[in-house]
Structures are given as C-alpha cells and as structure tokens.
Amino acid sequence: MSLPSVTPAQAQAMTAKGNTLIDIRDRADWLREHIPGAQSVPLDALANAGPFSENDVVIFHCQSGMRTQTHADKLAAAAHPATALIVHGGLNAWKAAGYTTEVDKRQPLPLMRQVQIVAGSLVLGGTLLGTFVAPGFYALAAFVGAGLMFAGISGWCGMAKLLAAMPWNKA
C-alpha cells in the first residue's frame, strides 16, 4: 500500500489549519531536530497515536520519506479512520524548501552517526597503527569490518547497543 504524499509547502499549510503532523523517527532524533508543532510518535509507539475521527487529516513524516513509504500500511492503520498523508522527502525536503525546524544542539548525535564515527575512527586507527607500529593492529580494522558486516546481515549491531548505553545517550 502507498499513501498519498504532499509537498512540504502543502504540509505546512495543512498544519497551519490545525491538521496533525506526526514525526515517526526515534524520540532522540526528534529531540535533536523537529518541525515546529510536530508530535513525536515513533514507529514502535504508533498505537499511542490518536484517536482520530474520519474528518481528521494526519500527516506523517520521517527524515527522508523512505520510512513513511515503507511503513504506509502501519501509518494508515494508526490514523484510521482519518485521512493519512506523508510528506514527500520528509524532514530533509522540509528544510530544503526553506522551512524552519527546532534544533537542540545539546542533544547527542543520532546513534547511527555515532556508530559511523567510532567505526571509522577504529578502522583508520587500526590501519595507521598497523602500517607504522606493528602489523598486528590490522586486526582491529578487520574486527570492526567483520562487526559491521555482521550488523548488516543480522540487523543486530553490538557497537550501536554499546553506544546507546553511554551516559550521553540517556534521555
């Protein structure tokens, strides 16, 4: 199933008229940056959205629009009996169209960016140490690469779990 999409300009006009805008990204992502007036209802909490009437219009968005398209069935069910729409291009398109967002720079970087920074640093460090100190350090780069490959195959990322438990990622 696919839901009808609206442009950021249409979404802005519709929310100005009192329609509901729901951000389905993780709560941490919403805390770091969100569209003013958007409610945070992550995918795993969609049962908490609403209740809505058949006269309501509910507009969903994510970061790029991919998550809303992928989960269109869940979004339509969560909005039922209201009309469900998605913002084409998500938050990225909203910002590209020149609309403002509320940003809290005190919030930690998104978890996947933290994983990318740590993994990249470990691979770079292992490679440099392997080249200039001792070849055994190449194992560090290989270990990180194997971990990323396992995460891609299984959907479970130990580094993400470890970083999520760090004090700066606790809300």
Q: Which residues are catalytic?
A: 62
Coil, strand, or helix at residue 21? strand
Indicate the burial class of 74 (C-beta count within 10 angstroms; 0-12, 13-18, 19 or more): middle
Contact (CB, 8 A) for 22 and 39: yes
What single string gives the DSSP state of each residue in 91-145?
HHHHHHTT---EE-TTSPPPHHHHHHHHHHHHHHHHHHHHHHT-GGGHHHHHHHH
